Amino acid sequence: MSPDPETALAQVRAIALELPEAEERPSHGQPTFFVAGKQFAQFRHDHHGDGRTIVAVKTADDEEGPNLIDIAPETYSRVAYFGVGWVGISLAGPDIDWDFTGDRIARSWELAAPRRLLEAGGR
């Protein structure tokens, strides 16, 4: 069974805020996570009535996101109002792999984090 949105948000929040200097604040009405003023993740539930619960994360480049969507469309999706350097990870379904999701959130943090944090050991 899929977690309810509040449970999914609590899990995303716990993962994201464990990362160095991560902070949460709303952006466009959505719980959004930042490091050094740069966004690295956003939680969305039924955004504009789309019926999905996702966490949006950065991708390494403009090709990674579309490739992930092509390979695993049940897991990945485009994120409305975000560019191709972002991908949505589905938080629906009976077996969410929270270790995998946490790794993707952490990788997104690494893409947004300032060099000083990465040089200090990162996550």
Residue by residue, pLDDT tens for the chain (123 residues) are 457 899 999 999 999 999 999 999 999 999 999 999 999 999 999 998 898 999 999 999 999 999 999 999 999 999 999 988 999 999 987 789 999 999 999 999 999 999 999 987 766
Q: CA-to-CA distance for 88 and 22, rounded, in angstroms?
A: 19
Under DSSP, is residue 66 helix (H, G, I), strand (E, B) or coil?
A: helix
Indicate yes or no: pTM above 0.85.
yes
Position 95 scores a pLDDT of 84
Q: Do 30 and 19 contact (CB within 8 A), yes or no?
A: no
Q: What is the CATH number of the domain that holds 110?
A: 3.90.1150.30
**Domain encompassing residue 104:** 5-119
* CA atoms of 17 and 49, how far apart (whole Å): 27
In sequence order, what are the beta bridge partners of 41?
A: 33, 57
φ/ψ of 53, rounded to 5, equals -120, 120
Given a contact cutoff of 8 angstroms between Cβ atoms, the answer to whether 32 and 47 are in contact is no
Distance (Å, whole) CA 117 – CA 113 = 6
Number of domains observed in the structure of the chain: 1
Class of residue 91 by CB neighbours under 10 A (exposed 0-12, middle 13-18, buried 19+): buried
Please state the length of the chain.
Answer: 123
Amino acid at 86: W
Instruction: Give the model's pLDDT for residue 2.
Output: 59
